[in-house]
Amino acid sequence: MSLFWLVVIVLAISLAGYIVGRARAFSSAAGEISQLHSLPSYYGANVAMKAAVPAFLVLIVWLLAQPFYINSTVSSTIPDTAIQEGSSLGLVMAEVRRAATGLDNAVAAGQMSEEFARNARADFTDITTRLKEAGQIVTSDITQPVMRAAQSYRIMVATGNLYMSIVVVLIAVAGALWGLKETNKDFRARNTVEKGIRVILFSAALIAILTTVGIVLSLVFNTIEFFRLYPATEFFFGLTWSPSFSGRGGSSELGIIPLLWGTFYISIVALVVAVPIGLFAAVYLSEYASSRVRSVAKPLLEILAGIPTIVYGLFALLTVGPLLLSVFGDNGLGIMQAGTAVMTAGLVMGIMLIPFVSSLSDDIINAVPQAMRDGSYGLGATKSETVKQVILPAALPGIVGAILLAASRAIGETMIVVLGAGAAARLSLNPFEAMTTVTAKIVSQLTGDADFASPVALVAFALGMTLFVVTLGLNIVALYIVRKYREQYD
């Protein structure tokens, strides 16, 4: 049974429980609602909650725990001789999972029978070719130990999914019967339902935290795997980015310094464009523009935030790049060799960031109490003096937050950089040269039929972890500055 249909069955049981529970509440009070402690809908909701919540909780825990158990069990069957030099057990297990997925795809597409998938030997059949024909990315020839492990992996996954379906459905039915047993006119259904809703809301509030923890852990584990294969000192202090696809890493030079320089250089150019324009636009819209002008200008300005980044990338590639090349290229000042450059990506990215700065700054400026403006005017200050000496200082912590949001967006942008800045990893101060960023290289390292057992592919996770730490550091510094200023202002 697929996960989709399992969820549908649980929801159907929950809905049926709601209807039956509501009807049973009516019957227990002989049709007199006034005899019930709670409204009939609460009795139905109690049955539905007891059917759905435990079932979905078990389903989520099972889906999280099953891969760890299966990976641990299957990995214990892989002999040490199957782990090639420069690889690891984790990378071999990744190949096993890809092979198992390929077998599933081949069976689903009718390219091989289930019996063949369960019993095929890698050394006697063209199994690698068949998996590639099924659309599965296979980074090397499937060996017999990997094939046996993949077959065991498929069987365990199928068996685990079957048991999971049975257990989840039984729990949903048991929960519904439990809720129906509680249904009587004296049962405090409203109190139970409201308490359950509070628990659900609290659990929903934890999702963001748990998601962040999951992202960080996935980055940490793969980063550790990368640093087992490549020296950390060369990665963090190397001045050359030259990945090699020969062997399992070859003579790759994976220094991150040029990528960080390109990331910060393009982001600085973007902020130089976005911050003044966005902040001035916010001041005008909030303090100088009439209500009629504001009602038209603000929505038009915020339309920029809804344009997909790929469109901005095409705009950089087809319009801004050639325009800058005509001015600064060989026919102009002669300092620009191609349309893809730091300046191209920075200008377009700055245009993209304008609504982030202006919209948030506008809301923050409008939140400054009118009494502060009136007090300034009462002391004889002009509007411009009030804006400069009263409103902007009062709104500065929020404005810094808006700029920080724009900076985080600039650092994490990918498509504009890929299309507008080029792919050259270099250390240069010339804004009219092509450069690249960390995010662009993460995409390039994980695109295509790369060997996932090599540092060339695993480096993407180390790049992501580094970018995460850098962004976190910027947030901490900005928070410190905002709090320090707020203390002085108060």
Question: Which tokens in the block code for residue 478?
Answer: 């900005």
CATH number of 247-489: 1.10.3720.10
Give yes or no for residue 293 having a pLDDT over 70.
yes
Run of H or E residues at 179: helix 144-182
**Could you tell me which residue, 233 or 477, shows the higher pLDDT?**
233
Q: What is the pLDDT of residue 251?
A: 57
Percent of the chain topping pLDDT 90: 17
User: With contact defined as beta carbons under 8 Å apart, do 353 and 406 qualify?
Assistant: yes
Percent of the chain topping pLDDT 70: 85
Chain centroid to Cα 465, Å, comes to 13
Every domain of the chain with CATH number 1.10.3720.10 lies at 247-489
Q: What is the pLDDT of residue 248?
A: 44
Question: Which tokens in the block code for residue 195?
Answer: 């308490």
Report the DSSP beta bridge partners of residue 241. 254
pTM of the model: 0.67
Report phi then psi at 143, rounded to 5.
-90, 165
The predicted model gives 319-341 an average pLDDT of 80
Report phi then psi at 241, rounded to 5.
-110, 105
Amino acid code (one letter) for 126: D
Cα radius of gyration rounded to whole Å, the chain: 30
Q: What is the pLDDT of residue 297?
A: 85
Residue carrying structure tokens 């049973």: 24
User: With contact defined as beta carbons under 8 Å apart, do 372 and 462 qualify?
Assistant: no
Give yes or no for residue 180 having a pLDDT over 60.
yes
Most confident by average pLDDT, 29-43, 48-62, 302-316: 48-62
Q: What is the pLDDT of residue 111?
A: 66
Measured CA to CA, the distance from residue 254 to residue 235 in angstroms comes to 6
Q: What is the pLDDT of residue 130?
A: 62
Nearest-10 Cα torsion for 62, 68, 69, 74: 140
Give the chain's length. 490
Measured CA to CA, the distance from residue 460 to residue 226 in angstroms comes to 9
Helix pair angle (40-75, 89-108), 10° resolution: 120
Measured CA to CA, the distance from residue 114 to residue 109 in angstroms comes to 11
The predicted model gives 91-96 an average pLDDT of 77
The predicted model gives 391-404 an average pLDDT of 84
Q: Collapse the DSSP code of 321 into the 3-class scheme (helix H, G, I; strand E, B; otherwise coil) and give the result.
A: helix
**Could you tell me which residue, 81 or 134, shows the higher pLDDT?**
81
Burial class (CB in 10 A: 0-12, 13-18, 19+), 408: middle
Q: Collapse the DSSP code of 253 into the 3-class scheme (helix H, G, I; strand E, B; otherwise coil) and give the result.
A: strand
Question: Which tokens in the block code for residue 190?
Answer: 């409203």
Which of the residue ranges 84-93, 155-164, 261-270, 398-407 would you say has the lowest mean pLDDT?
Answer: 84-93
User: With contact defined as beta carbons under 8 Å apart, do 145 and 82 qualify?
Assistant: yes
Amino acid code (one letter) for 211: T
Residue carrying structure tokens 């040490």: 80
> Long-range contacts made by residues 213-216, C-beta under 8 angstroms, separation at least 24?
216/468
Report the DSSP beta bridge partners of residue 254. 241
Angle at 144 between CA 138 and CA 147, to 5 degrees: 55
Question: Which tokens in the block code for residue 63?
Answer: 């889906």
* CB count in 10 Å sphere of residue 207: 9
Residue carrying structure tokens 């295509």: 448
Give yes or no for residue 59 having a pLDDT over 90.
yes
Which is it for strands 253-254 and 241-242: parallel, antiparallel or unpaired?
antiparallel
The predicted model gives 47-61 an average pLDDT of 92
Which of the residue ranges 62-71, 143-152, 271-280, 345-354 would you say has the lowest mean pLDDT?
Answer: 143-152
Q: Mean pLDDT for the chain?
A: 82
